[in-house]
Amino acid sequence: MKIAFIGVGVMGKSMVRNLMKKGNELHIYSRTKSKAEEVIAEGAIWHDSVKDCVAGAEAVITIVGYPKDVEQVYFGPEGILENAKAGAFVIDMTTTSPKLAEKIYAEAKKKGLRALDAPVSGGDVGARNATLAIMVGGDEADFRDAEPIFRAMGTNIRYEGKAGNGQHTKMANQIALAGAMAGVCEAISYARGAGLDIQTMLDTISTGAAGSWQMSNMAPRMLKGDFAPGFFVKHYIKDMNIASQEAEDRQLELPILADVLRMYKDIEEKGMGDLGTQALIKYYEK
């Protein structure tokens, strides 16, 4: 399949590779070409604009930073919706606003395009190993037809319902993640204060009821002082802000989300927005 891929960053680079491994022809565009040089060398075809990248593609995939970036690549005369060929899939895998996903779906329908919102979970490890969880909103028939594309990038692939539901599911994921990440940080902080060997403590509790993906994958990075971003602090703050707004719109009180968002904003204000989410441990080290 001829696939256009917009946004070749930490996650996108591995996703492009995995799509190419399945024999797909990848056409790529990103704001910074230098970040895509590795996959260009491996066979991805570079384009200098979104318009040129999506021309003739059977599927267009986007995974960019913020809702404003999604708006920029989808709308306007140079955007995806004006330049993708009729019948193509347009799949936004950015974590963004459910309302924006609904807007893209409605506009895509008018142009004969098949829009799906399909945010992912699993970080850089999941992207690299093609084990991402992918949560998809849109028309079920389109989801079924696009499933082979998703299978190249992930293992836990779920149809969540109408347009926007993929993004709502990702918001639930990010809310749950907030508590899990803070819980790991607080366990480490407590163990340090009690004089425990932290690695021994983690090895002990990670196989029991307290175990989690965050404990198994992020805690070792925290202990090594490895704060390289599998997922940026600044992007997680963006996600939590969206989740908070959606909760407020529904008159829901989510105090754990609010507390963890405050903590992440604190470390971002100290210049840590470009670190990985595991940098939350630094909040407890002040």
Annotated active-site positions, please?
170
Alpha helices, DSSP H only, in 36-164? 37-41, 50-54, 67-74, 80-83, 98-110, 123-129, 140-151
Query: 269 burial class (0-12, 13-18, 19+ CB within 10 angstroms)?
Result: exposed
For residue 237, the SS3 value is helix
Q: Report DSSP letters for 112-128, one per residue.
A: T-EEEE--EESHHHHHH
State the residue for tokens 């963890």. Answer: 260
Containing 241, the helix (H) or strand (E) segment is: helix 233-249
Long-range pairs for 70-78 at CB < 8 Å and ≥24 separation?
Answer: 70/94, 70/96, 70/100, 70/104, 71/100, 73/6, 73/7, 74/104, 74/107, 75/107, 78/49, 78/50, 78/51
Query: 230 burial class (0-12, 13-18, 19+ CB within 10 angstroms)?
Result: buried
For residue 181, the SS3 value is helix
Question: Left (φ > 0), alpha (ψ -120 to 50) or beta: where does 122 sit?
Answer: left
